[in-house]
Chain A
Amino acid sequence: MLILALESSGLVASAALVSEDKVIGEYTSNFKKTHSQTLLPMMDAVLKLTGIDIKEIDAVAVSGGPGSFTGLRIGSATAKGMGLALDVPIINVPTLEAIAYNACGTEGVVCPLMDARRNQGYTGVYEFEGDTIRTIIEQQALPVEEIISRVNALGRKVIYLGDGVPVYRDIIEKSTAVPYLIAPMHMSVQRAGTLGALAVQYYKAGRVETAAEHHPDYLRPSQAEREYAEKHEK
């Protein structure tokens, strides 16, 4: 089994090639160039380096959201194009679950946090049993104070990770009432290798979709739709 994993939901762009038992190659970058310019060259570099032909892959895994709307679509459209051309399925891995999986093995809970602007975070809470991830709180957009109070209510040790942590670090430090850890930088970002490892489990469980039906889960309507709904409620 060979899975191509693509991650472009946040600041990081990442591409990896994953088999059933190993991350064969991974390329992750975190700088200002747009994902549109970096994602495919990175994927190409991984394939070239490993000498694997794109036609050998069995599925394309993609970080399915939430995240930057544009970033998500670059990943999705790339996955959909691959899926259509190669006639392989798409594995839509929730972004926050994939970030949380970076901390697989911890005994406490994991709280990934992405900056969703407007004082909110895209967040969720997860725990592990062996290499299996379990969802305690589904991924959603929440005010940062709210997610911290929900974490506190669990009464368990927590690891915070994700690109929202530096943004909301003050609130986290002030409001967290349980023992906590802020993950080091290499664990704190989206990585296609981690996404791919999780995607192997999804693939085995038959949790795949067709390239035609795949689309990102934005977790938020567009601003125009939000304003339209507000206007028509009054």
Chain B
Amino acid sequence: MDKDIYILAIESSCDETAAAVVKNGREVLSNVIYSQIDIHTLFGGVVPEIASRKHIEKINPVISRALSDSGMTLSEMDAVAVTYGPGLVGPLLVGVAEAKALAYAAGKPLVPVHHIEGHICANYVENKDLEPPFLCMVVSGGHTHLVMVNDYADYTILGRTRDDAAGEAFDKVARAIGLGYPGGPKIDKAAREGDPRAIEFPRGHVRESDLDFSFSGVKSAVLNYLNDCHMKGIEVNTTDVAASFQASIVEVIVEHTMLAARETGARKIALAGGVASNTALRTAMEEACAHHGYSFYKPSPLLCTDNAAMIGAAGYYDFINGIRAGLDLNAVPNLKLGER
């Protein structure tokens, strides 16, 4: 029997300070998240400098809590894994510097983890049977990627957004219709009361590529619609706008995922990222998968948003594949998927 592998994982790429202890990449022994969302709500979005300052204040208590919740000590860990990109450089640097010092002082290997790979690997935590190859649609505030997971730590990007990330469009539209920040959950909630067919917003296709996305046009169409109503003195039905906007985003995401499945022959489909907690998207993707006979996987909402358990899952597979970082590891804010 192989020895169990325990990873202490740290994540600070945006506005969540998080640490977790993960066993063998699949079993979460602890998952501590300090969300800064209340502070950033004041400013209508994440302020990098404020996020960085909060990370510094919270990172040690969060890590200590993750260790104590797991009932283990730092010396019992096999490695320290940390998100080094993509993300906001200031916030990333806090986690990276902390993780390097921890690993160095404790004499543990340091594993650099890609944030998006982390989101994808969140699916391993609750779906013990899920193994590559599978198709994964990653949708969050900063990312929209349709990814073929060929093997653990081997990815091919099939489609991506040409402009705004899906979550970014949610935030901007939510602000425009007065729902505020964070846009994803607020639109999700408002949309349940609205009619998704009330207004016909454009679909975010890209002419030259069947699998890429473009969400800035949808966002502009919503802004134009609001402006038009305002000019004509028509009262805006916020819930209808939320529902119709959400429907246009969800439809394209599901459609492109199904197309990619047809093209690649993938039989397993997963969702990942913060927007993967959107109820309309989860339902629509599940129905489409059922219709085509694909297996459908999704992380629970807590593992969709930024967390360190997913970094521990990804870090485990990187660790057993021999991936290590040196003491000169830097934050890479624009790190691309598949790059090191």
Contact = CB atoms under 8 A, between A and B. Distances in A.
Nearest to B63: A84
Contact of A36 (B59, B61, B96, B105): B96
A215 interface: yes
Interface in A141-199: none
B50 A224 contact: yes
Given A36-B331, A44-B327, A74 B97 contact: yes
Contact of A84 (B53, B56, B64): B64
Contact of A70 (B50, B59, B90, B328): B90
A218 B61 contact: no
Nearest to A85: B105
A225 interface: yes
Contacts of A78: 97-98, 100-101
B74 interface: yes
Nearest to A81: B101
A82 B99 CA distance: 9
A77 interface: yes
A211 B57 CA distance: 10
A82 B329 CA distance: 16
Of B42, B90, B102, which is in contact with the most chain A CB atoms at under 10 Å from its CB? B102
Given A69-B52, A222-B47, A222-B53, A81 B99 contact: yes
A80 B104 contact: no
Given A38-B328, A212-B64, A224-B49, A85 B90 contact: no
B333 to A, nearest CB: 12
B56 A76 contact: yes
A176 B105 CA distance: 47
Contacts of A82: 101-102, 104-105
A70 B93 contact: yes
Contacts of A80: 56, 59-60, 98, 101
Interface string B28-46: 0000000000000011000
A40 B104 contact: yes
Nearest to A76: B56
B84 to A, nearest CB: 10
Contact of B43 (A55, A84, A224): A224
B24 interface: no
Nearest to B57: A215
Given A41-B328, A212-B60, A81 B102 contact: yes
Given A54-B104, A224-B49, A73 B99 contact: no
A135 to B, nearest CB: 25
A119 interface: no
Contacts of A222: 47, 49-50, 53
Given A70-B90, A81-B97, A224-B50, A215 B104 contact: no
B70 interface: no
Contacts of B93: 36, 70, 73-74, 77
Given A36-B96, A41-B328, A74-B97, A81 B47 contact: no
Nearest to B91: A73
A60 to B, nearest CB: 9
A73 B105 contact: no
Contact of B330 (A37, A77, A79): A37
B106 interface: yes
A44 B59 CA distance: 23
B97 A73 contact: yes
Of A40, A83, A85, A228, which is in contact with the most chain B CB atoms at under 10 Å from its CB? A85
A73 B43 contact: no
B94 interface: yes
A79 B63 CA distance: 14
A116 interface: no
A223 B63 CA distance: 29
A79 B101 contact: yes
A70 B56 CA distance: 11
Contacts of B326: 41
Contacts of A215: 53, 56-57
A40 B327 contact: yes
A217 to B, nearest CB: 11
A85 B56 contact: no
B18 to A, nearest CB: 15
A73 B47 CA distance: 16
24 contacts: A41-B326, A70-B52, A70-B89, A70-B93, A73-B90, A73-B93, A73-B94, A77-B95, A77-B96, A78-B98, A78-B100, A81-B98, A81-B99, A81-B100, A83-B60, A84-B64, A85-B101, A212-B60, A212-B64, A215-B56, A218-B53, A222-B47, A224-B50, A228-B42
Interface of B: 42-43, 47, 49-50, 52-53, 55-57, 59-61, 63-64, 74, 89-90, 93-102, 104-106, 326-331
Nearest 7 Cβ contacts at the A-B interface: A81-B101, A85-B105, A77-B97, A222-B49, A40-B327, A212-B60, A224-B47
